[in-house]
Structure 1
Amino acid sequence: MIEELRIADLGVIGAARVELGPGLTVLTGETGAGKTMVLTALNLLLGGKADPATVRTGSTGASVDGRVLLAPDHPAVVRALDAGGELDDDGSLVLARTVGAGTDGGSGRSRAFVGGRSVPQAVLAELAEQLVTVHGQADQARLRSAAHQRAALDEFAGPAHQETLERYRDAWTRRARVRGELDELVARAQDRAREAELLRLGLAEVERVDPQPGEDVDLAAESQRLAHVEDLRVAAAGAHTALAAEPDEVGGATNATALVEHARRALEGAGAHDAVLGALAGRVAEAGYLLADVAAELSAYVDDLQADPRRLEVVHQRRAELATLTRSYGPDVAAVLAWAQDAGDRLLALDGRDQRIDELRVERGELDAQVHALADEIAATRREAAERLAAAVEAELGGLAMPGARVEIVVERLAEPGPSGGDDVEMLLVPHAGAPARPLAKGASGGELSRVMLALEVSLATAPGARALRPGTFVFDEVDAGVGGRAAVEVGRRLAELATDAQVIVVTHLAQVAAFAHRHLVVTKSHADGSDLVTASDVRAVEGEDRVRELARMLSGQDDSAAARTHAAELLAQSGVGR
């Protein structure tokens, strides 16, 4: 239950405290007095869109605070605590909203607070779903839509039906996803087949050539060696002669190995007298060993080096084979082998797509069956609920001065189930006996639509299990538009009956409706400094003679009319609410 609202600098409201309570509360006042701003404040508190233009002229921002009394385990309390908010000492939850003017240095931004903690605006909207059901003239327009009518019927059908709907929507969503993936795979099947064939041809060519890691590098080196074998032989033999040939082989000159050996002996002889020369002798000895090793390897190299034209031809042919691969699949053998690995993986994936198509077709079939089975179950429940809801609304319309009126709810199957089931739902109104049934979207007047909406709302609120599903506060903004006379009295009576189990807040211009309120609030305007302004004292509860005067004003436009006051007193007496 919303206990109170505090509003500052919103529209014509400078500062106001609106005390609400259980049962039926009505807000009345002259046109333009600020009743709409009270609902605007409530809308802000419930996460509605903030408009800087609603900030009072000359103010940098507007603010709204609301105190809500809820059970400790109420879903809104749980959500508020999850968002970091805290309850007051008396267990109430405080909601707040500020709106900047966007002028004179203001940012025009909106901020939301839950339980003293700043939260995103969406959190207030989530709480609103648990706290309040708001109906205005815009909701009457929505009642003309097939989607709104279907949603109302689903709500009336009860919690079990809602659970079936959730399972249906989940199955329908999964089927849509499977269908989309399957359609894409099937549409691209030819492209995948062409890609797979090219990969197979490429892999077959690589397999035929069978390149080995590093083979292209080794063959390039071997090709260089075989193509320049005589130059290599001359170079190696000349180096060997210089290092280790006998003196007569080098024209009597001493070879490098012999000269180094001579140097070593000279140093070793003197090294006994000087450690420096001894160390140098060791290093010269190491050089001698190295020269001897190199000379031996050169000798073996020369012995093994042979001209082999046939081998050179084989090398050239192999390099040509490898070149065909590197032209197509990579700059070298390493890249070709990497391509082959990736191509093999890709081919496995492409071949697996056909298996995936088969799997998706099986899954689609299973989901088709599930969707249609759930759609049949939903259709049966809707048809049964449609009869009960039509009867309940018809009974309510009888009490709203529409005797003989009835509502027909037609449930027709669709050729293909949609996201909300396999049915179209349409509400038809028979306004009086003998009249043809016509769709609400076309055949209902404003006054009839107001009463149908109220009858529907009451039927939904009093349906089995509705208390667990619906918020405990209802707000009606001029739900009595287009209604007058006896019908207005019956609207007030039904709102009062709805308020026996819920908090009902109504903005009305009809005295017949206001007479049934348990709490009557009047909004007036002061005229300070030449401007209209609602102050803290301008939203007040009226009782006794004050209430009679307000009802008389609503009836005749004059609060001092004796006839109007007599009529107002009669309305209060008939309502049974008292003064």
Structure 2
Amino acid sequence: MIEYLSIHSLGVIGDATVELDPGFTVVTGETGAGKTMVVTALNLLLGARADAGAVRHGASRATVEAGFRLTPGHAAVGLATEAGAVLDGEADPDGGADPGDTADLALVVTRSVGAAGSSGRSRASAGGRGVPVALLSELGEHLVAVHGQTDQLRLKSPAAQRHALDAFAGSEVTEALAAYRRDYEAWKQAAAVLAEITTHEQDRAREAENLQRSLEEIDLAAVEDGEDLAVRALIERLENVEELRAASLGAHAHLAGADAADAVEIPSAEALIESARQSLLAAPGQDDDLTGMAQRLAEAGILLADIAGDLAGYAARLDDDAASDLDTAQSRLAELTRLMRLYGPELSDVIAWAEDHRPRLEELQGDSGRIEELTGEVARLGQQVTAGAAELTRLRTAAAQELSGLVSAELRALSMPDASFHATVTTGGDPGPHGADEIRLLLQPHAGAAPRPLGKGASGGELSRVMLALEVVLAATDPVPTFVFDEVDAGVGGEAAVQIGRRLARLAQHVQVIVVTHLPQVAAFADRHVKVTKDSDREAGFTTSDVAVLDGEDRVGELARMLAGRSGSDAARDHARELLEASHA
């Protein structure tokens, strides 16, 4: 619902804020006072096209703002949150936020319009965050339904009309539609897979052949993660084996001494270390420093002996590696490189590619069996979809007849005795996600006329009454939080006006209702009476309007003015009190 509406520099309204109740609020005032600016402001907040001419003379911008109270699960909450809007929730008694709180949320929406000739553009915000004007339209579809002389219909689209009829039909259609959609989605998915297989059978066969060839060559290569690095190291060793052998044997000779067969005598590092140690041990006396250094030389000799042994082993392994075929290692590296180029870039990627594509090969190789299986499944699900669509048609047709009768009865009470409402269900099309039915809401304005879509063949006032009748019937099943009616009572009076007021009050039992009216019979039924007053200052050259909430004798006076043109007439005031008492009764 709308908690408040603020208007600044829009039309004749300079600056006004009005608090709104959850029930029935009526807006009245003399002709030209600016009553329609309330509807204009709401339309701006709902994404209507901005009119720079509506900006108050002398002002650079017009601004309207509304505070909405929403339940946490409301569709508008999700739309606003996705756009980055901040919604205020009720605080718990300790002042903190409770994540599990189900209290209502507050959303503030603003819209500003630049005056003609100014550089300012239309701007919109929701929850303190600037948003596209298109988002206001999306929010508006879930927040407010405006029925006026020139406003679009809430139930204009076929989808909205189908949704309204399904909601009116109740749980039977809800359950039947849910079952139908499950079958429909399964049927479409199975049919799509079958079409994919049969339409691209040759392509899938070629894909299977290529996949099998690729997986076979990877399996045959028996690659291991990191194997290419080991092969590269082996190739480098084989290519430099002589230099490596010479280096390792030369170092070994310096440490352990040359072989007896070598012509050149190389002093042994091990022997020199040992000689140095013996010299220290041969010193007279027991010198602790020399004894310690002798021990360290012994440790150095052991370390050099270990290194010499490692060098001898390394040289021996070089001899073993030399027996390997360098060509074989290079061929292996070439094979690994080719696989990495095709499926890599690393060997780990080659292995992962093979594992990822094995299921696809199994799927493709089973095409023949799957075609037979899917053909049967598509046929079975198709029968279920057809049966489900027929059941939806049956339920919708019954609901359409009931809805037509109820709305037509409401129209007769709203001073449209010759009009009749028709909800039609036409079937025979291809099944879709919502069945095979085309739902249309039609109005037959008078006997002998052909039923026409809502919005065609009826005046603005008549159309507002048609929508009032329809909304009253749908109120308990398909409501939006707030309904706004502008001049719903155009062209009627007397008992018909009383019936309009009574039905607006009935609608307000389910939703918030805001009505702009000039009929006291309608205004008397309201829970809250808002008056727009005009004040002209010819010398200053401007006109202003103000918005005030009336109660008590002030409300009686306004109803008297609407009845007799004079708020001070005793007879009119008595009549006004009588209207209020009758409406409350």
By the TM > 0.5 criterion, same fold? Answer: yes
Note if 1:318 corresponds to 2:328.
Answer: yes
What letter is aligned with 1:315?
Answer: D
Write 1 or 2 for the structure with the bigger share of helix.
Answer: 1
Q: Give the Cα–Cα distance (whole angstroms) in 2 for the partners of residues 83 and 303 of structure 1.
A: 81
Q: 1:497 aligns with which of 496, 502, 510?
A: 502
Quote how far apart the aligned CAs of 1:385 are.
1.0
Task: Label 1:367 to 1:292 Cα distance change in 2 as closer, same or farther (>3 A).
Answer: same
Q: Give the Cα–Cα distance (whole angstroms) in 1 for the partners of residues 290 and 339 of structure 2.
A: 62
Q: Which residue in the other structure is 2:96 paired with?
A: none
Q: 2:516 aligns with which of 495, 507, 510?
A: 507
CA deviations 1:435-484 (Å, max 9, x no partner) are 444555655555654443333233334xxxx2x65368643112345xx3
Q: Give the Cα–Cα distance (whole angstroms) in 1 for the partners of residues 275 and 50 of structure 2.
A: 106
Q: Give the Cα–Cα distance (whole angstroms) in 2 for the partners of residues 50 and 166 of structure 1.
A: 38
Q: Which residue in the other structure is 2:278 paired with?
A: 265
Q: Which residue in the other structure is 1:418 paired with?
A: 432
CA deviations 1:63-85 (Å, max 9, x no partner) are 657799x9xx9998xx99x9513
SS at match of 1:425: strand
CA deviations 1:272-324 (Å, max 9, x no partner) are 4544433443344445555666777778888999799xx85x61452254134
Note if 1:345 corresponds to 2:355.
Answer: yes
Quote how far apart the aligned CAs of 1:505 are.
3.8
Compare 316-325 and 240-249 and name the one that shifted more: 240-249
Describe how 1:426-441 pairs up with structure 2 within 5 A: 426-440=440-454
Quote how far apart the aligned CAs of 1:254 are.
7.0
Q: 2:235 aligns with which of 220, 227, 235?
A: 220
Q: Give the Cα–Cα distance (whole angstroms) in 2 for the partners of residues 206 and 119 of structure 1.
A: 56
CA deviations 1:302-347 (Å, max 9, x no partner) are 8999799xx85x614522541341341238xx98753442232122
Q: Which residue in the other structure is 2:338 paired with?
A: 328
Would the aligned equivalents of 2:143 and 2:480 in 1 still touch at CA under 8 Å? Answer: yes
Q: Give the Cα–Cα distance (whole angstroms) in 1 for the partners of residues 135 and 417 of structure 2.
A: 44
CA deviations 1:147-197 (Å, max 9, x no partner) are 443333233323543454456557656766777788778878766765654
Would the aligned equivalents of 1:219 and 1:315 in 2 still touch at CA under 8 Å? Answer: no
Note if 1:527 corresponds to 2:536.
Answer: yes
What letter is aligned with 2:424?
Answer: V
In the comparison of the two structures, how many residue pairs are matched? 539
Quote how far apart the aligned CAs of 1:387 are.
1.1
Would the aligned equivalents of 2:530 and 2:549 in 1 still touch at CA under 8 Å? Answer: no
Would the aligned equivalents of 1:241 and 1:249 in 2 still touch at CA under 8 Å? Answer: no
What letter is aligned with 1:32?
Answer: G
Note if 1:158 corresponds to 2:170.
Answer: yes
Q: Give the Cα–Cα distance (whole angstroms) in 1 for the partners of residues 496 and 175 of structure 2.
A: 33
SS at match of 2:543: strand
Larger Rg: 1
Q: 1:85 aligns with which of 87, 90, 105?
A: 90
SS at match of 2:436: strand
Note if 1:385 corresponds to 2:399.
Answer: yes
Q: Show structure 2 runs of 5+ residues with no match.
A: 79-86, 94-102
Q: Give the Cα–Cα distance (whole angstroms) in 2 for the partners of residues 234 and 432 of structure 1.
A: 113
What letter is aligned with 1:422?
Answer: A
SS at match of 2:325: helix
What letter is aligned with 1:33?
Answer: A
Task: Label 1:201 to 1:495 Cα distance change in 2 as closer, same or farther (>3 A).
Answer: same
Q: Give the Cα–Cα distance (whole angstroms) in 1 for the partners of residues 20 and 246 of structure 2.
A: 112
SS at match of 2:546: coil
CA deviations 1:222-279 (Å, max 9, x no partner) are 74477x49x9589849965994468897589976655554433222212745444334
Q: Give the Cα–Cα distance (whole angstroms) in 2 for the partners of residues 86 and 32 of structure 1.
A: 43
What letter is aligned with 2:472?
Answer: V
Would the aligned equivalents of 1:134 and 1:474 in 2 still touch at CA under 8 Å? Answer: yes
Q: Which residue in the other structure is 1:27 paired with?
A: 27
Describe how 1:525-564 pairs up with structure 2 within 5 A: 525-528=534-537, 529-535=540-546, 547-551=559-563
What letter is aligned with 1:216?
Answer: V
Task: Label 1:518 to 1:298 Cα distance change in 2 as closer, same or farther (>3 A).
Answer: closer
Quote how far apart the aligned CAs of 1:506 are.
2.6
Quote how far apart the aligned CAs of 1:577 are.
5.8
Describe how 1:8-47 pairs up with structure 2 within 5 A: 9-16=9-16, 26-41=26-41
Q: Give the Cα–Cα distance (whole angstroms) in 2 for the partners of residues 112 and 305 of structure 1.
A: 78
SS at match of 2:213: helix
Task: Label 1:173 to 1:50 Cα distance change in 2 as closer, same or farther (>3 A).
Answer: farther
Quote how far apart the aligned CAs of 1:430 are.
3.7
Q: Give the Cα–Cα distance (whole angstroms) in 2 for the partners of residues 393 and 258 of structure 1.
A: 119
Task: Label 1:281 to 1:420 Cα distance change in 2 as closer, same or farther (>3 A).
Answer: same
Q: Give the Cα–Cα distance (whole angstroms) in 1 for the partners of residues 8 and 317 of structure 2.
A: 105
Q: 1:146 aligns with which of 158, 175, 180?
A: 158
SS at match of 1:201: helix
Quote how far apart the aligned CAs of 1:389 are.
1.6
Q: Give the Cα–Cα distance (whole angstroms) in 2 for the partners of residues 247 and 530 of structure 1.
A: 127
SS at match of 2:90: coil
Would the aligned equivalents of 2:72 and 2:105 in 1 still touch at CA under 8 Å? Answer: no
Q: Which residue in the other structure is 2:149 paired with?
A: 137
Q: Give the Cα–Cα distance (whole angstroms) in 1 for the partners of residues 47 and 67 of structure 2.
A: 14
What letter is aligned with 2:161?
Answer: Q
Would the aligned equivalents of 1:416 and 1:422 in 2 still touch at CA under 8 Å? Answer: yes
Q: Show structure 1 runs of 5+ residues with no match.
A: 554-558
Would the aligned equivalents of 1:526 and 1:533 in 2 still touch at CA under 8 Å? Answer: yes
Q: Give the Cα–Cα distance (whole angstroms) in 2 for the partners of residues 27 and 388 of structure 1.
A: 34
Q: Give the Cα–Cα distance (whole angstroms) in 1 for the partners of residues 314 and 545 of structure 2.
A: 112
Q: Give the Cα–Cα distance (whole angstroms) in 1 for the partners of residues 527 and 311 of structure 2.
A: 119
What letter is aligned with 1:220?
Answer: I
Q: Give the Cα–Cα distance (whole angstroms) in 2 for the partners of residues 28 and 164 of structure 1.
A: 46
Describe how 1:220-369 pairs up with structure 2 within 5 A: 220=235, 223-224=238-239, 228=242, 232=245, 236=249, 240=253, 243-244=256-257, 258-270=271-283, 272=285, 274-289=287-302, 312=323, 315-330=325-340, 337-351=347-361, 353-354=363-364, 361=374
Task: Label 1:399 to 1:43 Cα distance change in 2 as closer, same or farther (>3 A).
Answer: same
Compare 415-424 and 179-188 and name the one that shifted more: 179-188
Task: Label 1:493 to 1:219 Cα distance change in 2 as closer, same or farther (>3 A).
Answer: same
The CA RMSD measured in Å over matched residues stands at 5.9
Would the aligned equivalents of 1:25 and 1:518 in 2 still touch at CA under 8 Å? Answer: yes
What letter is aligned with 2:13?
Answer: I
Question: What fraction of aligned residue pairs are identical, expressed as a percent?
Answer: 39
Would the aligned equivalents of 2:424 and 2:441 in 1 still touch at CA under 8 Å? Answer: yes
Task: Label 1:120 to 1:389 Cα distance change in 2 as closer, same or farther (>3 A).
Answer: farther
Task: Label 1:163 to 1:239 Cα distance change in 2 as closer, same or farther (>3 A).
Answer: closer
Task: Label 1:203 to 1:276 Cα distance change in 2 as closer, same or farther (>3 A).
Answer: farther
Q: Give the Cα–Cα distance (whole angstroms) in 2 for the partners of residues 234 and 472 of structure 1.
A: 91
